Chain A
């Protein structure tokens, strides 16, 4: 029996022409997707997923850390701002009782605040 040269045979087949004749829509219509899904073992697939590496790739951990940091810093900002407000309230009363003008008081140590006592009022008026 003469041997058949499969490679030569395949070379002569025009695959593009065959694909053109295939009605893909019709094939899809014939597929029972529900039955296909029923046969898929989702648990097995999930077991094979490397969640840790996925977390690293999606930077989900970083997103969670960022949002937590945001909430913490916002809370700190509010607490500190409340503190400054109360500081001012008590300082105002102390100044009133001691009959002294806030403008005459130094704002801070000389190397940290470059405003001389007495200029604070002028500065706040300008602002």
Chain B
């Protein structure tokens, strides 16, 4: 079963990534970034409570909490895209962001992509529709930042790994 599953992605390295992979990666990133943020806030609240001796509740600082969340999300996406063209979720799903010509993206494009990403979401997610309808699978934030998302996952190597695991003695 796994062999055919792996074969589906055979030789896709560098091809435009599809909608499901991109949305699952984005979902994973949202989950991971919020998980980390919540952990950070809990740790901060605990430290303040320990140092001051009084009960600290985040709900009393909702605006600060919102601002911190926005800054954190910006750092999470922009820093990772600028650093290696991929976030944790994208790395898990085997995709990465590149310039439209295929070269690695820089810090400026990572920032533009991060700032315009909410635009794709807030208009009822219409910005993501381009992944299905556009010839190059560009979402709105890809158009703004002049980026593309491609598969970085080497399915051919994955298939060889799977075959090696299946029968280590057999010649390749």
**A interface, CB within 8 angstroms of B:** 70, 73-74, 76-88, 90-91, 94, 98, 100, 105-113
Establish whether residues A88 and B14, one from each chain, have CB atoms under 8 Å apart when the complex forms.
Answer: no
Stretch of B57-65, B67-75, B96-104, B118-126 that contacts chain A = B96-104
Establish whether residues B161 and A80, one from each chain, have CB atoms under 8 Å apart when the complex forms.
Answer: no
Q: Within 8 Å CB of A87, what residues of B?
A: 17-21
| Chain B, interface residues (CB within 8 Å), range | 35 or more
B77 within 8 A of A: no
Establish whether residues A78 and B5, one from each chain, have CB atoms under 8 Å apart when the complex forms.
Answer: yes
Look across to chain A and name the residue whose beta carbon is closest to the beta carbon of B153. A80
Q: How far is the CA of A102 from the CA of B85 in the complex (A)?
A: 27
Q: Is the interface of B mostly helix, strand, loop or mixed?
A: mixed
* B133 CB contact (under 8 Å) in A77, A86, A94: A94
B30 within 8 A of A: no
A-B contact pairs, 16 of them (CB 8 A): A78-B2, A80-B21, A83-B18, A83-B20, A84-B151, A85-B5, A87-B18, A91-B19, A91-B132, A94-B132, A108-B16, A109-B100, A111-B101, A111-B102, A112-B102, A113-B15
Q: B130: shortest Cβ distance to chain A, in Å?
A: 11
Q: How far is the CA of A83 from the CA of B93 in the complex (A)?
A: 8
**B interface, CB within 8 angstroms of A:** 2, 5-9, 12-21, 24, 92-94, 98-103, 132-133, 135-136, 148, 150-151, 153, 155, 158, 161-162, 165
- Apart from A81-B155, A94-B132, A111-B102, list 17 A-B contacts with CB within 8 A: A74-B161, A78-B6, A79-B93, A80-B21, A81-B8, A83-B24, A83-B94, A84-B151, A86-B20, A87-B17, A87-B19, A87-B21, A90-B132, A106-B136, A108-B15, A109-B101, A111-B101
Top 6 A-B pairs, shortest CB-CB distance = A87-B18, A109-B102, A112-B14, A111-B102, A84-B9, A81-B5
